[in-house]
Copies of this chain bind each other. A is one copy, B any other.
C-alpha cells in the first residue's frame, strides 16, 4: 500500500450503474435497456447516460409512457433468452404496472417449476427530501420485499452499485434494483458525498443478499439501507464523540435478507436501532426488529425504529424535513434506550 499509489477513481452511483450496464452490454448481446427517457436523455437520474450513444436505439429503447406494456414485454423477452434491464422512473409509479411485476415477473419461474426463467433487472428510483411531493418521494422498500419471487436490492454507495448491478444482470432471477435519488450523485437532487467512492474499472460482482458491516462497533447496532446507512454513519460519528461505539450495518439487500448479519451484530451490542426512509408500519424496521425478537437475543434495551411516519409525504420543506429519518432521531433513539436501561 505504500508503493505506487493505487489509482483512485471516484464515481457517483449514477455513473457506476451506467458503467456496469455498459460492461455487461459489451459482453452479452442479450442485455438491453427499456424505459422512459433513458435514450438520448440518458435517464432522468443519469444511470443510463452514454449508453444510447454507444449502443444505439435498438438496444437502448425509449418507451411510450406504458409501464404495463414495457415491463410485461420485458417478462416476455426475458423468458425468451434476453436479459432486459428496465427502468421504472420513480418507484412511486409501481401502481400502474405492479401486476406485470409481482404477478408475472416474480412468479413465472415458480409457476413453470423453474423451466422458464425471467432474468431481468427492474431499476427504479426511491426517496425524497427535495420536495417532490407525495407521488414522487417514496421508498416503498417493504412493498416490494413483502411479495415473493423477486430479489430486492439497494446500494448505498457507488462501489456496491456497480458490483450489485453486475450481479443483478447476471442473476437468472428477477431483481428489483432500487437507487435512492439523494445518493445518486446528481447535483440537482442534492448529493450525499459519502456515496461517491472509489470504484474499480474492471468488472466485479457484489453478491446479492449479503449485508455489509460498514462500521464496526460494540455498543449499539444501527441497521439501515440506502439513505439510512448514511444517517447511521453520521450518527455513529456523533455518538463516538460521546464515547459510544456504534456498529453500522448496510443491509444492501432486502430479499434475500441477511438475517444472520443482523443477529450477529446485535448479539455483540445488545442494542438495536433500525433506520428506514420507507413508511413506519408493516415495513423493514418491523421485520428487522421481529427477526431479533424471535431469535431471543438478550437486549440491554428495547429496540427502536426511526422510519417515515405513516403519512403521505408532504411537499413543504418544513414538514418533509421534519418527517424524514435523521441523525438527530437516531441519537434520540439511542438516548431513549439508555434511559430505558436506567
Contact = CB atoms under 8 A, between A and B. Distances in A.
A286 interface: yes
A302 B296 contact: yes
A310 interface: yes
Interface string A282-317: 111111011111111000011111000011101000
B293 A302 contact: yes
A67 to B, nearest CB: 10
A201 B96 CA distance: 41
A279 interface: yes
Interface string A23-42: 00000000000000000000
Interface residues of A, number: 55
Interface of A: 68, 92-103, 106-107, 110-111, 134-135, 142-143, 145-149, 254-255, 257, 279, 281-287, 289-296, 301-305, 310-312, 314, 340
A295 B290 contact: no
A33 B252 CA distance: 45
Contacts of A96: 68, 98-99
Contact of A283 (B107, B146, B279, B289): B146
Nearest to A145: B282
